[in-house]
Structure 1
Amino acid sequence: MSAIDLAAVRADTPACRDRVFLDSAGSSLPPRQVVDEVVGHLRREAEVGGYRAAAERQDDLDQGYAHVADLLGCLPDEVAFTDSASRSWLAALDAIPLGPGDRVLTTEAEYGGNAIPLLTLARRVGATVEAVPSDADGALDVDALRGMLDERVKLLSLVHVPTNGGLVNPVTEAAAAVHEAGALVLLDACQSLGQLPIPAGADIVTGTGRKWLRGPRGTGVLAVRRAALDRLRPRLVDLRGGFWESLDEVRLHDDARVFELWEFGVAERLGLIAAVRYALDLGLDRIAAAVGERADRLRAGLAAISGVEVRDLGSRRCGLVSFTVEGTAAERVRDALLARDITVTVSRVSSTRYDMTRRGLAQVVRASPHYFVSPEQIDQAVAAVAALERDRRPDPL
């Protein structure tokens, strides 16, 4: 497998030349092809109006389902477009029939954005939400999962990659166990879509465009396997998801598009499709290898600095790198690095309370280097963190 052409992807990403951008897990830098698509369509809307501009691009919009299907390893009619990963996840959850006594299992890597609606829904319908323990490496313990399964378990909310570190959960193994119990698997691929191939096994997959996929904000995808669709009960359906066939009769789409809404940002969706094509052209295996190399280089450099602790879990790791600096709040580290044109962010306990409470962490610095970050920039970031640590320590007498 050949390596990604670093010079080419950096040429497509002009902003990465002047700064060390390590926040693709937050909202990445889009390539020029995505920017040109979005801006170009907005200009066309200004020229001829939104309806006509959209009609001119209908073939490209329709082809987008096949591109996303290639990315996710599913069928085009199993794909729906949304305005965010949150919208995808909430629409899927709302369609899963849950009632009194039902059980929902999660991982200890669960996002706050998922836990809040899960706990709210469970309280309303009389269900329970339970976290499956992690194994010794911090990943979902599949044996523990099997021990918790019974006929009352209706759903596993499975986070592929958490928001606060480089852990990669065992999707295929967990899904196989859950399916033996007759339950559904809702896979949150928010932090893996665009940096890793998506494993087979989940019934429902949700993801965003703005992170590793390098698409616009306000874009998301939802994949629903045909085998699971009959078990779902979508409630909030408009004239995109259904048809008003007579005065008192409606018919819903019999595929994933039942979850779509009629109104959407056409420019943003075209930009998302361009981002998907860009990722497919590079190849997900090549992207995963390049991102993994940069993350490993960053982890090794940080681990060698006295007073810095890398906080990533898992025996298999990806492009998120979390760390703490002894005696320095994560916000101060972030701000000090930003002053040196190095972009990182902070992950807090409120975003992933199961995991960080278990580990006694209030916050971590999160760095997420994409394939357009050069090895020299990784070393520059390590040197900057080392300088912060040196400045923190008092001079020896």
Structure 2
Amino acid sequence: MDIDVLRRGTPGTGNRIHLNNAGAGLLSRRTLEAVVSHLELEAAIGGYEAAGQERDRIDATYGHLARLVGGRAEEVALFDNSTRAWNAAFFAMAFKPGDRILTGRAEYGSNVLAYLQMAQRTGVEIVVVPNDEYGQLDTVALANLIDARTKLVGVTHVPTSGGLVNPVAEIGRIARAAGVPFLLDATQSVGQFPVDVGELGCDMLTATGRKFLRGPRGTGFLWVRSGALACLEPHVVEVAAATWDGNRGFSWHDGARRFGTWEMSYANVLGLSAAAQQAWDLGMDEIGRRAFALGARLRDGLEAVPGVTTRDLGRQRCAIVTCGVDGMAADEVALALAGRGINVSVTDPVQTQFDTEDRNVHPLVRLSPHYYNTEEEIDRAVEAVAELASAR
């Protein structure tokens, strides 16, 4: 990777030290131009006409996203965010009283709320699998908890609240052996490091465009293994998802497109396509190695600062780093860093309910570098946090 070239192609790097890629990555000029050029085309010739003219490029988006996760184009549906994609998969499943959903302590807050809603509606039981000694999902416990009543294993690959990378390949192996569908929330992993649905063994995967993939806000996608479609009934039907039979019935479209919608922002879709192509061109192995290395440099640097405590769990840790500064509230730290031109964010207890129940450490300062950050930026951020800690 030529970092200087990548940074010249990323306008935001000239203004800030952006360590909030777990929130939203900085758009590249390549992605920005894809979005803006389509909006200009819509303004010049009309929205329908622009979509017709760019139909081949729009349709190619499915293949670009599928390639990025090791799937096929027909297994991908587009959404305006990852949560909607996740809900489309989850609420397509049928549950009844006594059924069990197995999940982990790192599960994302919106997913947890959906589980709670399903429990209220149907009487399904939510089982939170404990963590192992590293703070990641305990796969031995998972295997022991799966029984005939288990209808879903739902796991977040990387939590919104820390650097943990759950042992998803082993989770997938256990779920496959038991014949239980596996829904993977890959919102923080796709674009940060290699993700391959074949290796991970999931049946459904959801991701967003705006984070480490560096796509526009308002984009996301769902991947569904073709063999899993038989146990899924989309909760919403519309003309993009099904075909009217001419009488009083309809048939679902083939593949994952049955989960999609007719109307979408094609400018955003083309931006997402450009971001996926750029990630592929750079190479996810290279992206992952650099992101992990920058995360480790940041974490090691913060751990060496008196009065700063890092809180990341897991045997394997990624480029999301969470910490607390003694005597300062997390939002106070984030505001002070923003004043120094450093973008970070703060974890929210309601977005990680099961982790909050277990550790009660949130809110924390969340710093999340990506491959276009420099080592100098990482060191400057550590120095800034050290200055805040020493002033208390």
Same topology, TM > 0.5? yes
Number of the residue aligned with 2:366: 366
Residue number in structure 2 paired with 1:203: 203
Q: What whole-Å deviation, never above 9, does each CA across 1:25-78 have from its counterpart, x for those lacking one?
A: 001111011111111111110111100000111101111111111101011111
Structure 2 match to 1:104: 101
Residue 65 of structure 2: aligned partner: 68
- Kept in 2: contact 1:349–1:357 (CA 8 A): no
Report how far residue 183 of structure 1 moved. Answer: 1.1
- 1:381 deviation in Å? 0.4
Query: Partner of 2:328: helix, strand, or coil?
Result: coil
Q: Which residue of 2 aligns with 1:78?
A: 75
What are the Cα deviations for residues 10-29 of structure 1, in whole angstroms up to 9, with x where unaligned?
Answer: 01112112211000000111
Question: 1:251 Cα shift?
Answer: 1.4
| Alpha-carbon shift at residue 235 of structure 1 (Å) | 2.5
Give the partner amino acid of 1:304.
Answer: A
Shift of 1:181: 2.0
TM (normalized to structure 2)?
A: 0.98
Q: Which residue of 2 aligns with 1:21?
A: 18
Per-residue deviation, 1:130 = 1.2
- Pairing partner for 2:185 from 170, 183, 188: 188
Whether the aligned pair in 2 keeps the contact of 1:68 and 1:76 (CA below 8 Å) is yes
Give the corresponding residue for 1:92.
Answer: 89
Query: Normalising by the residue count of structure 1, what TM-score does the alignment of the two structures yield?
Result: 0.97
Distance in 2, Cα, partners of 1:54 & 1:287: 32
Shift of 1:115: 0.3
Structure 1 CA distance for aligned equivalents of residues 174 and 326 of structure 2: 41
1:64 partner amino acid: T
Tell me which stretches of 4 or more aligned residues in structure 1 moved more than 4 Å.
none
CA contact (8 A) 1:151 1:182 kept: no
**Counterpart in 1 of 2:272?**
272
1:292, 1:318 within 8 Å by CA — same for their partners in 2? yes
Task: Give the aligned partner of residue 172 of structure 2.
Answer: 175
2:258 equivalent to 1:258: yes
- Percent sequence identity is 45
Match of 2:5 among 2, 5, 8: 8
Match of 1:247 in 2: 247
Query: What's the counterpart of residue 141 of structure 1?
Result: 138
Q: Deviations over 1:295-321 (max 9, x none)?
A: 111011101100100111111011100
- CA shift, 1:357, in A, is 2.4
Find the aligned partners of 2:316 and 2:270 in 1 and give their Cα distance. 34
- Partner Cα distance (1:228, 1:309) in 2: 43
What secondary structure sits across from 1:386 in the alignment? helix
> Structure 1 residue 274: deviation in Å?
0.4
1:322 aligns with 2:319: no
Q: Distance in 1 between matches of 2:359 and 2:160?
A: 15
Distance in 2 of aligned mates of 1:216 and 1:360: 33
Who is 2:222 aligned against?
Answer: 222
State yes or no: 1:158 paired with 2:147: no
Aligned partner of 2:384: which letter? A
- Structure 1: state its 5+ residue gaps: 393-397
- Residue 121 of structure 1: how far off its partner (Å): 1.1
| 2:132 maps to amino acid | D
Shift of 1:390: 1.3
- How far does residue 353 in structure 1 lie from its aligned partner after superposition? 1.6
Structure 2 portions without partners, runs of 5+: none
Q: What value does the CA root-mean-square deviation take over the aligned residues?
A: 0.9
Offset of residue 254 of structure 1: 2.2
Question: For the residues of structure 1 that align with 2:173 and 2:96, how far apart are their CA atoms?
Answer: 24
**What CA distance in whole angstroms lies between the structure 1 residues aligned with 2:350 and 2:236?**
29
Map Cα deviations across residues 237-268 of structure 1 (whole Å, 9 max, x no partner).
10000111303121111210000000000100
